[in-house]
Amino acid sequence: MTPPFVIFALPRSRTAWLAHWLAHVSGARVGHDLAIDANTIDHWLEAVARTYRGTCETGAVEVWPILRRSVPNCRIITIHRPLEDVCASLAAAGYTSPLEDLTRRRAALKRLAEEDGVLSVPFGALVDPKWCAMVQEYALGQPFNWSAWREADEINIQVEYSTRIQRLAERRPALDKLKAELAERLAEHKPFISVGEEPWASVAEDVERMGVSHHAEATEAIAGDYRLDQKTLFDLAAASLWRVFVARVDGVFAGYCCWMKETNLEEAAPPTMNHGPFYASPCFARHRLGVKLLNVSRAVLEAEGYKILRLHHTTRGRGAKAGALYEQLGAVEYQREYIWRVGNDA
């Protein structure tokens, strides 16, 4: 997948404008202060990793050690504005300045800026197209769009005061819990498990690499040698007939669940998806990735109007127990398959 980005800054550092501009340039969703509406750290991480192209955050910089472990390909940018200017700007806009919080966040910003691979930008440089070009190219990985920047630079984007104050008040209990969870997660690492659909082109090599172990376990040499027909699969994916859902643990590729749209020549069946290769690495067994892959697949495909998901499993390896899992999830056994060898090699 395309790496996401996060821009960390203190309030009143043009983050709302940055989110507007980068959304316009990328043609994708870019968040602003997503942490305010996050119920858990994983909720925020999932938004960063899968839901948004990127986000600009003014109150979440202290999460950066967790972000770097959990979404290791995330591109991070820090914006630095003098604290006295931040406080003055907050006062002019009608906000009070939580000086203790701001001082702590400023220290976290400085520590983060010293990390490898982090782009550090002075607040005053955001009026300079050369610096904005660096921001855009680093965040989005695409050449600077001069005309889009000129257009955005003429727009004054502000967070509406009363809306923000009301939302902060509504979310205060949830934010207090989020801060408590942040302290726990900083003290003791908890793996971030993310499951979602990804483009076949982004994961084809990972699936093929992991598929070697999958094939050996699932067939125990009864079937033929492992060979993934990538050309055909790319063609099917391009036609939206071949789909893949992927599990990642702290960004590491950990499992996959593939689906093939059914073309039924025998009956007038409702929209149906056939289960394809399905595997989770044994080293992540404690996270129950198989169940997560199936549940996320079901939720996405059901929302798209599919009525039947045809599941299958082998009788070898962990596949021999998959039927019980399917039944626990509500599936009903429908069909069995057999290998009948014929010819001289039978």
275 close to 334: Cβ distance less than 8 angstroms:
no
pLDDT given at position 134: 98
Residue 97's closest CA among 107, 105, 106, 87?
87
Q: How far apart are CA 336 and CA 313, in angstroms?
A: 10
Give the chain's length. Answer: 346
**pLDDT by residue (tens digit) across 121-174?**
999 999 999 999 999 999 999 999 999 999 999 999 999 999 999 999 999 999
Q: Are the C-beta atoms of 279 and 255 separated by less than 8 Å?
A: yes
Both tokens of 264, joined, read 């039924």
Q: How many CA atoms lie within 13 A of 96 on its CB side?
A: 5
Which parts of the chain fold into alpha helices (H)?
15-26, 41-46, 64-70, 83-92, 99-113, 129-140, 146-153, 161-170, 172-187, 200-219, 230-238, 289-303, 322-328
Owner of token pair 């870019």? 30
DSSP codes, 294-315: HHHHHHHHHHTT--EEE----S
Domains of the chain: 5-187 (3.40.50.300), 193-328 (3.40.630.30)
Q: Map residue 119 onto helix, strand or coil.
A: strand
The stretches in the chain having pLDDT less than 50 are: none
For 16-49, give the DSSP string.
HHHHHHHHHHHTS-EEESGGGG-SSHHHHHHIII
